[in-house]
Amino acid sequence: MKKHYTLEQKHWDNPADHAMPEHARVPATLTIGNVKIAPATVLAPMAGVTDTVFRRFIKNASQFTAASGAASSESVNVDQTTTNQQSGCGLIMTEFTSADGLSRMRETKRKRYLTYYDDEHPISAQLFGSNPETLADSARIVEDAGFDLVDLNLGCPAKRVVACNGGSGLLRDLPQIERIFKAVRAAVTIPFTVKFRIGWNDANIVCVELAKLAEDCGLNAAALHARTREDGYTGQARWEYIAAVKDAVKIPVIGNGDIRTPEDAAAMVDATGCDAVMIGRTAPSNPWIFRQIAQYTASKEATGVGTYDQPTDEDRYRMIRTYFQMLVDEIALEEQTEAARAAAITASGQIAREQRNRDCVGKMKQFASWFTHGVPGGSTLRKQIFDSKNGEAVLNAIEQFFERNRAAEEAGAEVILA
């Protein structure tokens, strides 16, 4: 059967329930090189998802204060010197970026592609490719752009990436990985990390050997998605390989795979001894997951019982409205920047603006299925969003949908589930 690796299809196969030892919790801090991550939680790099709008959105959704329903933020050691705000998400990562493309881009386009804001620190830029020299050049570009860390992608299972010997395709060529590690490590002074899978398939498990190689080549941390490339996103993540990697190296190990709840995050740490947890596909459907982990940790430290807030319908309304408005605002900011560079909008500029608006609406439709998960009548809202032609129409559909739901609740009527 042909496998698809688009994020929309990354559902869970019969997710496991984990026993919860009393002491299990996510660490408060993690240090990678000279960068302090607090708490020890990481937003995974996701193609087509973790652009600057989504990254800042997650940071805001993850804000953790005493008002959010648990103990004070100090109890989870959220360090404002590294996060700029009290956020339950300690580190964010960019979408994976082609090293070949980055090295060929004009300076102006490169700056736009590597856009990030001050409140995104600490932030890591993830690169993929197979040529050591090109990856080293791109790592220097990333360092010059002010990123706190640079990461090498050895995990993407997409056919188009693997066909170029990038992503998880390199798992079949450890000597080439070693050449890449050495070239990039020699090129930059910022922390250098790697994200990888346990192997190409069950007959080619290389995660422990690869982690040792990373340590020997001077990398500062390793993140393991506990599946093979052949697994894609199916079956259960095999956390025992995260434990094996942790036992094999002294550099920090970040665990990734099947974290849907704060309990899952704590269970992974307990089962593997990993130094931090990385969360991917849960984040688009539950942007509060990082805040919930912080609340769970703080309440467990304070009372011995882990608790956290569950989002209300009003929370979901604000979340959807906020993210979509951020998309619209980002396009408006880009247009203002371009207008400052040109006295008049040229024909090509008009085409670019129309393309950005199409991209904005496309992103809204992409996220609609995740964001409406758990919303009463969510399928109705999804259809309205899919039928919308522009950003304003999407925002109007959201306002009208939730206003009708509020009116129905106030009138004591049952909200119809679509």
Run of H or E including 400: helix 391-410
- Amino acid residing at 13: D
Active site amino acids: 156
CA-based torsion, 33, 98, 283, 396: positive or negative: positive
Residues 6+ positions from 80 with CB-CB distance below 8 Å: 86
DSSP 24: -
Q: 18, 267 in Cβ contact below 8 A?
A: yes
Question: Following DSSP, what letter does each residue of 340-353 receive, concatenated?
Answer: HH-SS--HHHHHHH
User: Strand 253-256 and strand 221-228: pairing?
Assistant: parallel
**Of 391, 277, 335, 323, which Cα lies nearest the Cα of 42?**
277
Q: Is the dihedral of CA 233, 236, 242, 244 positive or negative?
A: negative
Phi/psi of residue 400, each to 5°?
-65, -40
Give the Cα separation of 40 and 23 in Å (integer).
16
